[in-house]
Each structure stands twice: as C-alpha cells, then as structure tokens.
Amino acid sequence: MRTTPRIKGLYAVTPDSTDTALLLEQVLAAIEGGAALVQYRNKPAGETLRREQASALLALCRRRNVPLIINDHLDLCLAIDADGLHLGGTDGDIAAARSQLGTDRILGVSCYDRFELAVQAKDMGADYVAFGSCFPSATKPAAVRAPLHLFGLAKRPGVAVVAIGNARQCCLGNRRRGRRGRRDRRIVGGCGHSQRGTNFFQPFHARQRP
C-alpha cells in the first residue's frame, strides 16, 4: 500500500495537448524546475488519447518520484493506478470517489471561492482543497476570483490548501530553474494552456493523511 505523500510545493497542471511527446517534454521540464506534484488535465481529449498520455506521464512521474493526479476521470485513475484524483464542482461524488480510491491515494477538490465547499470536501475525505482563481490568468480569464483571506480560514478544516491562478504571481521567482536552465524557467513560469506553457497550483499549507 502506498503512503499518501505530503501535498506541499509546486503543483503543475498539464496543458491541453494532442502531442504526447511534447507533453512529456513539458512535464519533465516542470519536474526539473521544482514541481512536486503533477495533474494530468486534458478536457478535449478522447478516451484513447487520455489513456495513452496518462500512462506515459505516470511512468515519467514514477521515475522521478512525483505523484500523478488525474483530473476528473476516476475510472482512468483506477485503471492505470495513478496516485490520485482531482474533482471539480460538478465532476463527481466526493465521498464515493474517496471510497473507491481507498486511503492511499490523494483526493483533491476545487472549491472556487466558497469556504463552505472546503469544509464539506474535508468531511467527505478530501486530502486537499483548491481555491481560485486567486490572480488574473490568461488560461481562464472569466474564472471566479477567490479572495486570499480564504486561505487563512481554510487552515481550520485541517487539509492542504491549494491556490489556483497565475503562476508568476504565486511567487515562482524563487523557484530553482532546474537542469534545463532558461527553457525550464520559461515553462515553469508560464501559466497558460499553451504549446510551451504549463499552468500551476501553489499549495500554501499541507498535512500528511493519517
């Protein structure tokens, strides 16, 4: 049985891409640039491409000892034995997902700008809750903006808290650049789902799931 890792540090979210080789290159650069977790998110992809990309990313992440979180698709997470699942507000039943994932996988939940959703998610077994967008982002310019005081409030439920938003304003300037130097910095500093950019979550607080 795997032990749930601490949810702490830079959390990278993949861009929508049909180019699996390029996606692997981007994620490797993000990991080398300091990403502690990776979430596979590709909304437009079909089932075959999602399975291909998620499997390839899992192999990469396992080699680098970085957890891979699957966005939305519980069946895919279980099928490839990924390290966790992230659910949006309408993406599924949190308690049911926790039951199927077991206690050794990570479960994260988007709570947007609503503290009460974070409390509910914690009660249903979430390991982390995500608020945002916290800063303006070209990825989702119309996204709900979450006030920063939520992060102080959300420490009370006792789960890790993640900020969604513009990577450049989530204090990335002091992140190590990694072996790829300038190229690595460009990818890690990016915040859009573009060909050469990767969106990031930045956890502010973490705990180890018992």
Q: pLDDT digits over 116-128, tens only?
A: 999 999 999 999 9
Residue of 110, 122, 185, 209 marked active site: 110
Q: What's the confidence (pLDDT) of residue 156?
A: 66
d(CA 52, CA 48): 6
Residue of 51, 62, 140, 180 marked active site: 140
For the question of residue 8 being annotated catalytic, the response is no
Using one digit for the tens of pLDDT, what is the confidence trace for 61-101? Answer: 999 999 999 999 999 999 999 999 999 877 779 999 999 99
Phi, psi of 88 (to 5 degrees): -85, 180
Using one digit for the tens of pLDDT, what is the confidence trace for 136-181? Answer: 766 566 778 888 888 888 776 667 888 887 655 554 443 433 344 3
Residue of 41, 98, 185, 209 marked active site: 41
For the question of residue 110 being annotated catalytic, the response is yes
> Taking 90 as the threshold, does the pLDDT of residue 193 lie above it?
no
For the question of residue 122 being annotated catalytic, the response is no
Residue ranges of domains in the chain, CATH in brackets: 10-205 (3.20.20.70)
